[in-house]
Structure 1
Amino acid sequence: MSGTLWGIGIGPGDPDLLTVKAIRLLGALPVLAWPAPLDGDGMARTIASPHIPAGKIEIPIRLSFRPERDDTDQAYGNAAETIAGHLDAGRDVGVLCEGDPLFFGSFIYVLDRLRQRFPVQVVPGISSPMAAAAMAVKPLSLLDDAVAIIPATRNDEQIRAMLEPADSAVIMKVGRHLSRVKALLADMGLLDGAVAVERATLADQRILPLAEISSLSYFSLILVHK
């Protein structure tokens, strides 16, 4: 019998925000995989580290994290075959994913390659919009409010079209797109009141009015309320 592929959401950064089920599985699963930079453990492994006992088979999925993502397909293809070898041998494998596995989650790259071959289960995690809203104490929606989730990688016309009908929005993957997004929000009259949240729930998190921010890392987002 083959093993089961687990997508494990490990939340936004604070190790205390992992679910009880995620912590149990980190202790029980024999094989763990996660996305990692070319050197070092990476964010996912670092978040989960307090809950990972010694003796695991570990599979870091090495990525350059270049904006063009030209190594993504090969890296996840190679990792999927390594993971498949363990699953074929009957070993369950957990793929760690920051936030939630199915919300902009790196786990999806593995899922798409293996879901037709092996049983799959997913453990939800706290996603970055939920964490950022909590840290900033900014409600995202109430009653019939519509919330837009918008990648800053979209062009200005697309972002504007998604913002216009929404009551509130979360603009993600801001990083190097900050200046362009700020200019667009200012043009739409939405800059005042917009809040930037960087590295939510971590010790070095920043929460500031967007108008006061001049730079943001990849691990950041913008909360917009009309």
Structure 2
Amino acid sequence: MFSYTFHWNQAFRALPQMLDGALVTLQIALLSMAIGVTCAIALTLFRLSGNRALSGFATTWIEIARNTPALFQIYMAHFGLGSFGIHLSPYTALLAGIAFNNAGYLAENFRGALKAIPETQIRAGRSLGLTSLQAFRYIVMSQMLRIAFLPTTNQMVWAILMTSLGVTVGMNTDLAGITQELNARSFRTFEFFALAAVIYYLVAKTVTLAAHLFAARMFRY
């Protein structure tokens, strides 16, 4: 028979602590996206550069990021690099692993967005006296980011959820880490993790809604 007694009061008393963890989760996700977008743009340019070495480097990064588990990537940042004397804190390893994963997925998004932009626009820019770099910066980049904006938002949500993997490398200041510690002290697994799931859901939905409102305002034309 079902005989479990819920004790939600313990979970609700810990809500401020869990919300502090949610802020750390959001911070890691935002930083990983900033790093990921920067690396993804570079990887996209490398892959389309025609230089075999740069293209090979970008392709290898993208293939590893997209075809291996995110947990593996975080483990390699924390434990793998430690084998070579490079010791990263749980926070840094989690950030590095998620940023690496983000860059791989976003590079493919950006490459697809670039393919959707007619090459005639670049030639038109060159005919007006722009250099290749200026044509890319002023003509192509803005359109690429516009096309890839909503897929990038999906990656942001994925980054938020990926932060929960930090508990595997000892991360204890984000939402998942704090929830795990609270559960270890109280053994109220269902209550704490159910509340954490609601917080993850609300954060993810808020980011998605904000992104759609931003896109509707900024990309009306």
TM-score by length of 1: 0.23
Name which one, 1 or 2, has greater alpha-carbon Rg: 2
Higher strand share: 1
TM-score by length of 2: 0.24
Higher relative contact order (CA 8 A, sep 6+): 2
Higher helix share: 2
